[in-house]
Structure 1
Amino acid sequence: MQLSTETPADWWEVEALYDLCFAPGREALSSYRLRDGVSPVAELCLLLRDDSGVAAAIRFWPVRVGRARVLLLGPIAVHPTHQSEGLGGWLIREAVERARALGWARVLLVGDAPYYGRFGFKPLADVSMPPPTNPERVLGLALLPGAWDGVAGRVQKAEVIAGQSTSDAT
């Protein structure tokens, strides 16, 4: 497997992987409204390739909770022929370390606590996603000690300036 950062040339191949791995209508989810018109955090959008193409992919997007800058993890997908090989975990660990190195303080996702808990994600009782998201699936990871302390409210779309999302990390 070869790890690389996603490039614009990879976009459609990654989208095809997401289409394969997720139910039709995935783009109708509330998390996609938070991504509309906002650029992903390019240095954290990673791919794993094998000889057949993209085996796994992960993307991150900037969002806000109150005044706090937050990374929204997702989507993450592993090609069905590579599931249960640990590729998703590899991408999560690698991307989280890169996010920490870039100065990001916190990560948010919507997912299953038993799976993501092994990476340190915990339920966020004071943070809500736009409906119809199940509040029990809103999970967070502090990249710095206490990063989620006092952060509460609804997740909101990051500001957009001249077609680019703002880039401050904290």
Structure 2
Amino acid sequence: MTTLPLVIRPETLRDADAIERLHERAFGPGRFARTAFRLREGVTHLPNLSFTSLVGTLLVGSVRVSPARAGSHPLLVLGPLTVDPAFGSRGIGSALMRASLDAARADGHGLVILVGDAPYYARFGFRVLPPRKLTLPGPVDPGRFLALELREGALAEAGGSVVGGSR
């Protein structure tokens, strides 16, 4: 496998159109009906925790993180994590995850949730949530509803319905 000259950098406003095209290629039109999308709908992602990957000038990956709450407890929603299908299996998603999670830890956040493939995200410390600990605004496979404590005890503090936004 050839090593790519990969650059990971914070997302900028100029990246928005390229990221939207990347999401369209990777997830198709069905992405709008997914529970995770509905949770993020109308919520601005956090630029200091959202990153892109580039090969040369080509944007080939993106991870976004949005604020949310479970009751009175703030948390983060990670996603989408997107890599251009032509650049899959080259470590780009892992590099984006590490950048985002490192930034969230450094910023003092306590808990990150996502809906995704448990075996993939386990390598970053994500675990399946205990039943009925948190609920999302739509159906979700319980085996794909994952959380990562960035601060010990953060999951124990949170409970109830997750809503997007920081209020």
Instruction: Identify whether the pair has TM-score above 0.5, normalized to the shorter chain.
Output: yes
What is the total number of aligned residue pairs between the two structures? 160
TM-score, normalization by structure 2: 0.90
Residue in 1 that maps onto 2:28 = 23
Note if contact 1:128-1:135 (Cα within 8 Å) is conserved in structure 2.
Answer: no
Q: Which of 129, 142, 155 is the aligned partner of 1:148? A: 155
Residue in 2 that maps onto 1:8 = 13
Q: Which of 38, 42, 45 is the aligned partner of 1:40? A: 45
Distance in 1, Cα, partners of 2:157 & 2:67: 19
Deviation, structure 1 residue 14: 0.6
Deviation, structure 1 residue 27: 1.5
The one-letter amino acid of 1:130's match is P
Residue in 2 that maps onto 1:162 = none
TM-score, normalization by structure 1: 0.88
What stretches of structure 1 move > 3 A for 4+ residues in a row?
Answer: none
Q: Identity over aligned residues, as a percent?
A: 38
Deviation, structure 1 residue 150: 3.5
The unaligned stretches of length 5 or more in structure 1 are 160-165
TM alignment of 1:14-163, pairs within 5 A: 14-51=19-56, 53-125=58-130, 126-159=133-166
CA RMSD of aligned residues (A): 1.4
The one-letter amino acid of 1:54's match is L
The unaligned stretches of length 5 or more in structure 2 are 1-5
Deviation, structure 1 residue 52: 5.2
Note if contact 2:68-2:165 (Cα within 8 Å) is conserved in structure 1.
Answer: yes
1:25 is paired with a residue whose SS is: helix
Residue in 1 that maps onto 2:3 = none
Distance in 2, Cα, partners of 1:92 & 1:133: 22
